[in-house]
Amino acid sequence: MTKIKLKKFVGNTPIYIPLLIFTLFCVVPFVVVISGSFSDNASVVSNGVRLVPQVFSLTAYKVIFAFFSKITRAYGVAIFVTVIGTVLNLVIMVPFAFAISKREFTFGSKLTFLIYFTVMFSGGLIPTYILIKRYLGLYDTVWVLILPLLASPAYIVLLRVFFQSVPKALYESAAIDGASEFQQLIHVGIPLALPGIAAIAFFSMLMYWNDPYTAIIYIEDSELFPIQILLTQMTQYINYIKSNASASGGLISSPADIPTTTILFALGIVASGPMIFVFSFFQKYFIKGLTAGSIKE
């Protein structure tokens, strides 16, 4: 039995090696960022970033969290936008995708065409800016970070595939028992398409969490800046810390003491940390959701 397993492993080696290399390309940069965030700034400037910190230091994190209110406010905005945006996305996209997945739905083909049309053509940045600022009144409000990204056409198409993978006989059985279309969605469609819905929920969370451009274009009030703005405005944030060195409570005595290099790594970890934990929660659904509907019987 052991010889068979060994022979199988050796036979799959040509597959394992490229996968291992690809995994290293994905993991090593993240490890380097973590190492850089926990390194002494002088050692990084002199010798570069290593996989293991040459001189361990928490100064970058101490400097960041010296401005605790700024960080927590940005985190609060990002979390609010991500949670509310993801929930609203699912509330809109799941019933819509379920409806167009039904072949007997009269307007299914027309609505599907409209979805594809919006993928191929868009109004552009300037008309969208005018619409949001002048007509919708969303400019410089937290809702401008949520509403323009609702109902992604690509996610609706994916959800439709997930619902179509559910055996039609189950819907017909529920209908014979007197279930309405809404009851079929709640009791049949959603439970059986749950891996796909969870995958789309994760994609939506990433979309909202990693979107700094909407805030850059439509938000002026610094109270509404999400945590991602701290990444896109690193230079300005570091300059802010330099100009407010006295506000750090004695942590830094002069602007020269600020770890301008390692703080960039630390900001990256602070901004991406929550999504790492979210991915670990959704992982079991994520893999199933990617493969759902890929095989038809």
- pLDDT score of 52 more than 70: yes
Q: How many CB atoms lie within 10 A of CB 201?
A: 22
Q: In 175-263, at which residue ranges do the beta strands (DSSP E only) sit?
A: none
Q: Helix, strand, or coil here: 149?
A: helix
**Rounded to a whole number, what is the largest CA-CA distance in the chain?**
76
Question: The dihedral of CA 58, 63, 68, 74: what is its sign?
Answer: negative
Q: Which residues contact 70 (CB under 8 A, 6 or more apart)?
A: none
Average pLDDT, integer, range 26-46: 84
Choice among 154-168, 232-246, 255-269 with the minimum mean pLDDT = 232-246
Q: Can you list the domains of the chain with their CATH numbers?
A: 68-291 (1.10.3720.10)
pLDDT digits (tens, 9 = 90+) for 79-108: 999 999 999 999 999 999 888 888 777 777
Please tell me which residue, 135 or 66, carries the higher pLDDT value: 135
**To the nearest whole number, what is the mean pLDDT of the chain?**
79
Residue 295 — very low, low, confident or very high, per pLDDT cuts 50/70/90? very low
For residue 144, the tally of other CB atoms under 10 A from its CB is 22
The closest of 214, 209, 206 to 143, measured between CA atoms, is: 214
First to last CA, the chain: 34
Report the alpha-carbon angle 185-196-106, nearest 5.
45
How far is the C-alpha of 224 from the C-alpha of 221, rounded, in Å? 6
Question: How big is the CA angle at 182 (ends 176 and 186), to the nearest 5 degrees?
Answer: 95
Higher pLDDT, 293 or 32: 32
Among the residue ranges 107-121, 183-197, 206-220, 252-266, the one predicted with the least confidence is 252-266
Q: Is 166 exposed, middle or buried (CB count within 10 Å of its CB: 0-12, 13-18, 19+)?
A: buried
Mean pLDDT to the nearest integer, 108-112: 79
